[in-house]
Structure 1
Amino acid sequence: MKGRCARGFSLVEVLVAMTLALLLTLSMTTLHARVLRLSLDSAAAADAQDALRIALALLEYELAHAGYWGLVPDAATIEGRRGDAIPLEVTVSGDCGPDWSIDLDRPLQAWSSGWPLECAPYAGAPPRGGMLVLRRVETGTAAPEAGRLQVQADFWGGRLVADADALPPGYEGRDLVARAYYVSPRAIGDVSRPALRRKTLQRGPRLVDEEIMPGIAALEIELGVDADLPGDPGHGQADAFVAPETATAPVVAVRLTLRSHDAPGLVLTRTVPLRNGPLP
């Protein structure tokens, strides 16, 4: 009896198998690419959200302490401020206007757009969105230091100094904080990417411009105003949130909105009550 001859695959069968294998490989490659792209997009969105959260947390802290003067409850009792009969004679390098840094009677200022300061923004580029100016003292005490603007005070009053004046008995010294937050269309190292920046008072005394967080597209500000009189229901709470230019009643809260550049459509908003009482 003759043995059976072994039969292999025909050319057509081999071509069909190769085609199916190629299609399967292409499908797997496409699926992998999509998964990788979704993973990268998710990571970028998470990074963008973290950037907004960090920036908002910083601004929230600054707002919560606006108008804080240490032992002194009111800036009106601090000698040497801009609104005093005899303002402190001090030159602040790069200041944003005459006695801008020592304008303690205005611990909070805000604008919806534009550049209202006399100093120049970073790289001379007009900012995106609003601007927020905050003044206060640091929460921790500090020793007298030459070239550092400080408020020395007790419970009844204080004075503004810049020449390491010795602390009078019963006084505490705190470094003065004066900052202007805005969004520049140019980040460091990438002129096509915006960034949150601030003008801030430092040792010198001098005002420097520093980058806080890249990838922030815009800063939007609304002021919560309280028109209720003391003793009225709702006094101390915001009746409405309005554009800074239209606020006429005392400000008790600030609503901040940050928009992301790296994740278009991503927006975070936070409302911050002012801890140190209504601000004019």
Structure 2
Amino acid sequence: MMNKKHSCGFSLVEVMVAMVVGLIVMSGVFALHSATRKTQVKNEEQMDMVADARFAIEMIAFDLRHAGIWGGTSDYLLIDCYYNDPGCSTSSTGGEILPTVLGTDCAAGWYYDLENPVVGVTSGSAQLSACITSREAGTDMLAVRYADSSPRTILEEGQVYVRSSNLGGRLFIGDKQPFLDINDASSLTNNHEVHAYLYYVGTYSDVPGDGLPSLRRMSLVNGPSVEDQLLIPGVVDFQVAFGEDTDNDAKIDRYIDASKVTKWTKVYAAKIWVVMRTDEKQDSAIDTSVSFDIDGMTTSYGGTGGNRYFVVSSLANIRNIKREID
């Protein structure tokens, strides 16, 4: 008897079924990879923005820690020719140029107002806004002034400096330094570049009308003049609360907004909040609304616009302001 031969293998139907199953599995893997990648990209975008926000906050905190130091002294009364200084001689003592009010200044004498090295401006105030063309509604502003800690041996024409020691000093502009009546020849007497910044939230980032608000600052630059500088895009809110000493014990008794500060010489610290939103939008059907606790108040952001929101905060000590006791 002869054995019948049987063919082994898959039928065409089985092969087609296997191919369909394989395609389904592969499409699922691809969809999972795509979704994971999108999530990763969004998370990376947010982490980059958080890093930018922390960098900006650290920059502000650095300025606050140095506010009120004028080279060799923190006593502005020892410095000649600050804004509204009644004792400033209009004649130079060394051929130097004395500071004057700029036409582009944020307020008259703002950049050399040594008496108030830290000033906050609440959202409802137009104070210091003469130099700003587009400020985001509902946001605070913060002005900070100080002299650079590193002495300048080479002076630049048009730059604002203070020549000072622990016994006194004088403001001047340019490459001709003044001669101080006290301690001028001492090794402790040096020239320091003056910094003045006004932090605020603008309604645009790159060009007016682009719809992306940003953290910006007006900065004193060579000229002298005031320059509008972009720090980080995507900032929708900037809030500051100030730690005030109310009983002259050099300890903070309360944190308040700028409108409630009685004397800026009694402010010892500042709490800073920066609220950011992503530039890339999610599905507009997704509700991205979120609430943050800012200065003891719950504030809500977002909705169905597709942008995600997050907040970065910090606390900065204000160490160098000349203190006044009532």
Same fold (TM over 0.5): yes
Q: Is the 8 A contact 1:151 1:176 kept in 2?
A: yes
- Choose 57-66 or 215-224, whichever is displaced more: 215-224
Question: 1:36: how far off?
Answer: 0.7
Question: 1:8: how far off?
Answer: 4.5
Q: What is the identity, as a one-letter code, of the residue corresponding to 1:211?
A: L
After TM superposition, list the pairs within 5 Å mapping 1:178-189 onto structure 2: 178-188=196-206
What's the RMSD between the two structures over aligned residues?
A: 2.2
After TM superposition, list the pairs within 5 Å mapping 1:91-106 onto structure 2: 91-106=101-116
Q: What is the identity, as a one-letter code, of the residue corresponding to 2:261?
A: A
2:62 and 2:131 mapped to 1: Cα distance? 26
Question: 1:12: how far off?
Answer: 3.8
Alignment match, 2:234? 215
1:165 and 1:2 mapped to 2: Cα distance? 115
Alignment match, 2:41? 40
* Change beyond 3 A, Cα 1:278–1:19: farther
Q: What is the identity, as a one-letter code, of the residue corresponding to 1:239?
A: D
Q: What is the identity, as a one-letter code, of the residue corresponding to 2:161?
A: Q
Q: What is the identity, as a one-letter code, of the residue corresponding to 1:149?
A: V
TM-score (norm 2): 0.77
TM-score (norm 1): 0.89
* Change beyond 3 A, Cα 1:185–1:89: closer
* Change beyond 3 A, Cα 1:167–1:117: closer
Alignment match, 2:271? 255
Give the 3-state SS of the residue equivalent to 1:101 in structure 2.
helix
* Change beyond 3 A, Cα 1:278–1:78: closer
After TM superposition, list the pairs within 5 Å mapping 1:102-141 onto structure 2: 102-114=112-124, 115-121=126-132, 124-128=133-137, 129-141=139-151
1:236 and 1:267 mapped to 2: Cα distance? 30
Question: 1:183: how far off?
Answer: 1.3
Question: How many matched pairs?
Answer: 273
2:247 corresponds to 1:228: yes
Question: 1:5: how far off?
Answer: 2.9
1:278 and 1:136 mapped to 2: Cα distance? 12
Q: What is the identity, as a one-letter code, of the residue corresponding to 1:54?
A: F
Runs (5+) with no aligned partner, structure 1? 230-234
Question: 1:199: how far off?
Answer: 0.8
Identity %: 26
1:173-218 superposed Cα distances (whole Å, 9 cap, x missing partner)? 1111111011112111582222211111111111111111222222
2:308 and 2:39 mapped to 1: Cα distance? 16
Give the 3-state SS of the residue equivalent to 1:209 in structure 2.
strand
2:84 corresponds to 1:68: no
* Change beyond 3 A, Cα 1:55–1:158: same
Alignment match, 1:148? 159
Alignment match, 2:100? 90
2:213 corresponds to 1:194: yes
Runs (5+) with no aligned partner, structure 2? 89-97, 180-184, 279-306
